[in-house]
Structure 1
Amino acid sequence: MELRQLEYFVAVAEGLHFGRAAERLSIGQPAVSQQVARLERELGVSLFDRSARSVRLTAEGSRLLPEARAVLVAADRARLAVAVSPGGTATRILRLGSSTGLGDRLTRVLQALRATQPETETDLVSAPTRVRLERVASGQLDAAFVRGVVTAAGVELIEVWQDRLVVALPATHELAGPSVVPLAALAELPLRIVSHRLNPPLVDLVMGACAAAGFTPTLGAHPDTLENALAAIAAGPASWTVLYEAHARTLRVPEVLFRPTDPELVMPTALAVREDATSRMVAPLIRACAAAAHD
């Protein structure tokens, strides 16, 4: 049994998809399948039920997952025990789960951490919200940014700021002229938004605000990435989408303008840490988040 086999198994188990696990690991899918198959032969069990349309953990796979995570955490701790910076001092690695759309807030968090904790290096990890929370609870991540989560097993959620959302509109559309867009004025335009399955808190927030403004938006096609959605908005016909203001500040799309709404759309962002995390571990990161919270 090799560490990389356990790493590949955990990646597949968290996403229940061999292709996405390969993308996350930056390796070819055949290599992932091969190493997982070797692990199964080593253990003498099937870890996944595979079909043409889905991948599911078997009972044995479900029992192995927390143990595999624990082994990977122990391996990380072993590496950290001997990590030394170029200056000869011990280096601490902060394993931080990041969230889509953090934009320049994330940059400011990292800059604040670097200023106060120069011996700390930050390892950013991207994963779905559920996976980030599970990794924090298991110790694979020290902390993670999450949005729209109220409770989660094994973690404490500390609200660090409120993220304002802005609408993206064609630069030539009349609604893009004013500095603020009344939400009700968007009623006639199709909304390009991710499916509820992919981002329930965001969709619930936007649809609820539209209902409060007196309309149910017509849903237009939403391309697979924000970049493609903005390109579709720029090309027309007129439509709109939402994104976090901190993210919009990092984008340069001349054919699209970003505007806040009336009433405002805001989403709380929380830092998820283990329930047993000490203040010594958490305080520097909380202070960095406080510094980044001011626009």
Structure 2
Amino acid sequence: MELRQLRYFLTVAEELHFGRAAERLHIGQPAVSQQLRRLERELGVSLFDRTTRTVTLTEAGKRLVPHARAVIAAETRAKEAIVGLRAEQAGTVRLGTSDGLGARLDRLLARFSHYCPAAQVELVHAPTEQRLRAVRSGELDATLVRGKWDRPELRLIPVWTDRVLAALPAAHPLALRGEIEIAALAGLPLRLSPRTRNPALYDLVVASCREAGFEPVFGKDFTTSQDTLAAIAFGKAAWTVFYEPHARQLPVPGVVFRPLRNPAPVMPTYLVVRTGAERPDLAALALACRESRESADEP
């Protein structure tokens, strides 16, 4: 259950009209409907009775209203508490970053600046293990990592998930499909970074292939985005994977990006801080991460 789903639910409950609720929320009506259907699936009940002319709350919807209001009120109080500490947050936050964050990083930095306008953010790019060691030693205040890394003295805060898309030649027959069954890629060479470089992504993709009933056939290693995509576009047919925010920033001639299904692989991202680090600026950073997830209206 996500905060945005509760906000959408309360707005529709007040308006009893999906179109007016979408206007109040400044988003499209399909996004409102999609998120409320997900909330209903998670709860296992219908929250609204919908006809072509009317929208009314079900009994389950009526019972959810006061609890949803309490959650949103708690979120508001949390934000106010952080905003009240802005004057204390004039230092520098050293944040480790991952490849392929795309527009998420821009949204995250904008939200953090909103909460801590006097603070400066210094971005540090390095291999994951190096960033984790730097957080533990205090060289970094926090880092973003994909996948779960259990390390002593470190706390992982879930912040968002990203869909993993397939990148394949635009001329390949599979490129005509809106989504691709992973099993359909069984005979196509897969280009991935070695597990030593990116164990989280390697394990996720290999596990997804096995769940679809096949062992991936590995081609050449993934090197750089530019070189690997150029080789896929104009060389021997192969496929690789990209996180969706990264793929959105990579319009590459000769390559298409397609969602995967059965299974549909997703990668969690965490904000990693030292255990016991209760600084207000790090709390604001975690909140900014979560809000950058919500504003993306991710699947």
TM-score for the superposition, normalised by structure 2: 0.66
Residue 272 (str. 1) matches residue 272 (str. 2): yes
Q: Which amino acid letter does the alignment assign opposite residue 275 of structure 2?
A: E
Q: Percent identity of the aligned residues?
A: 47
Residue 155 (str. 1) matches residue 150 (str. 2): no
Residue 212 (str. 1) matches residue 197 (str. 2): no
SS in 1 for 2:144: strand
Change (3 A) 1:90 1:200: closer
The superposition leaves residues 85-116 of structure 1 with CA deviations (integer Å, 9 ceiling, x where unpaired) of xxxx9842110000112111111101111222
Shift of 1:223: 4.5
Where does structure 2 lack aligned partners over 5 or more consecutive residues?
1-87
Question: What's the counterpart of residue 78 of structure 1?
Answer: none
Shift of 1:166: 0.4
In the comparison of the two structures, how many residue pairs are matched?
207
Question: What's the counterpart of residue 4 of structure 2?
Answer: none
The superposition leaves residues 57-76 of structure 1 with CA deviations (integer Å, 9 ceiling, x where unpaired) of xxxxxxxxxxxxxxxxxxxx
Question: What's the counterpart of residue 283 of structure 2?
Answer: 283
Change (3 A) 1:176 1:165: same
Question: What's the counterpart of residue 238 of structure 2?
Answer: 239
Shift of 1:150: 3.8
TM-score for the superposition, normalised by structure 1: 0.67
SS in 2 for 1:141: coil
Q: Which amino acid letter does the alignment assign opposite residue 282 of structure 2?
A: V
Question: What's the counterpart of residue 260 of structure 1?
Answer: 259
Shift of 1:220: 0.6
CA contact (8 A) 2:95 2:123 kept: yes
CA distance in 1, matches of 2:187, 2:153: 44
SS in 1 for 2:249: coil
CA contact (8 A) 2:144 2:270 kept: yes
Change (3 A) 1:175 1:147: same
Question: What's the counterpart of residue 136 of structure 2?
Answer: 137
CA contact (8 A) 2:89 2:116 kept: no
CA distance in 1, matches of 2:128, 2:284: 23
- What's the Cα RMSD here? 1.5
Question: What's the counterpart of residue 126 of structure 1?
Answer: 125
Q: Which amino acid letter does the alignment assign opposite residue 277 of structure 2?
A: A
CA distance in 2, matches of 1:229, 1:212: 26
CA contact (8 A) 2:168 2:239 kept: yes
Report 1:101-120 matches (<5 A). Answer: 101-120=100-119
Where does structure 1 lack aligned partners over 5 or more consecutive residues?
1-88
SS in 1 for 2:245: helix
Q: Which amino acid letter does the alignment assign opposite residue 256 of structure 1?
A: V
Q: Which amino acid letter does the alignment assign opposite residue 258 of structure 2?
A: R
Question: What's the counterpart of residue 292 of structure 2?
Answer: 292
CA distance in 2, matches of 1:90, 1:157: 22
SS in 1 for 2:202: helix
SS in 2 for 1:293: helix
Report 1:66-215 matches (<5 A). Answer: 91-215=90-214
Q: Which amino acid letter does the alignment assign opposite residue 102 of structure 1?
A: L
Shift of 1:282: 2.0
CA distance in 2, matches of 1:176, 1:92: 49
The superposition leaves residues 172-191 of structure 1 with CA deviations (integer Å, 9 ceiling, x where unpaired) of 21111111111000011100
Report 1:26-41 matches (<5 A). Answer: none
Q: Please, which moves more after superposition, 265-274 or 141-150? A: 141-150
CA distance in 2, matches of 1:293, 1:162: 8
